[in-house]
Amino acid sequence: MKILRFYILYRLPIIAVLIVLGVLSHVYDDAILAWILYSLAFISLLLYFMMGTMRLVQEAVSEGDVDTAMMYLNKIKYPRLLLKPIRAGYYMLQSNLSLASNDLSTAEDSIRKSLKTKSSIVGDVKGTNLMQLGFIQLKKGNSKEARATLLEAVKAGIPDKESLAAVYLQLSSIEIQRNQNKVGKEYFRRAKALKPKSPELVEQVKTMEKHIARIPG
């Protein structure tokens, strides 16, 4: 794994070394070795532009190391050249990391770019992206836009129950703030029926349940 990390991080110097060795091989009349080295340099160059350091970013994210993940993400200088599924993942992770650091403008801009990057390889993640966008809009205080976006996310399809429950809880809160208590209660009922397991959502359900119990009608 250390060798792979070294290769990913130092791909450009490695490419330069391969080219120099290829030239030297040509000088010493070893054309076969030279073309092997040129081919390895070309493949490495393609990998540099089409995959970047996304593998390392995902590893850092899975380990909960946000700072390292952001460092690796910033090493990708030409995201538009990434393969489509990798590009979509790049923008989504960039949005997540920006959201974690409370950079809401970058988070929103990135998730919108992810929405525009469609790939049949990774499947339809429109619902997940819209959910993320809706949560960002809520953080920015744009509850009207967030409501419309979250409804669109539900319609597009959210793959896991925990995320769907989170969306329903937010919609419930928004509707109650709009004095649409009946609608708000219905969204809460849907969220509770999904039986979310994460401690944060369990606590939100308990808090919301107490609040809703005090609402007439």
- Domain ranges across the chain: 1-50, 72-159, 164-217
Domain 72-159 class in CATH: mainly alpha
b/e sequence 46-62, b meaning 16+ C-beta within 10 Å: eebeebbbbebbebbbe
Mean pLDDT of the 173-181 span:
90
Locate 85 and state its tokens: 């599924």
CA angle 204, 138, 162 (to 5 degrees): 40
Q: Residue 16, class by beta-carbon neighbours within 10 Å (0-12 exposed, 13-18 middle, 19+ buried)?
A: exposed
Contact 184, 175 (CB under 8 A): yes
For all residues of the chain together, what is the average pLDDT?
Answer: 89
Q: In this predicted model, what pLDDT tens digit does every residue of 112-126 receive, in sequence order?
A: 998 888 665 445 678
- Tokens 């949005």 sit at which residue? 95
Q: In this predicted model, what pLDDT tens digit does every residue of 40-89 receive, in sequence order?
A: 999 999 999 999 999 898 888 888 888 888 899 989 999 999 988 889 88
pLDDT value, residue 97: 87
How far is it, in rounded angstroms, from Cα 130 to Cα 114? 10
Q: What's the predicted TM-score (pTM) here?
A: 0.79
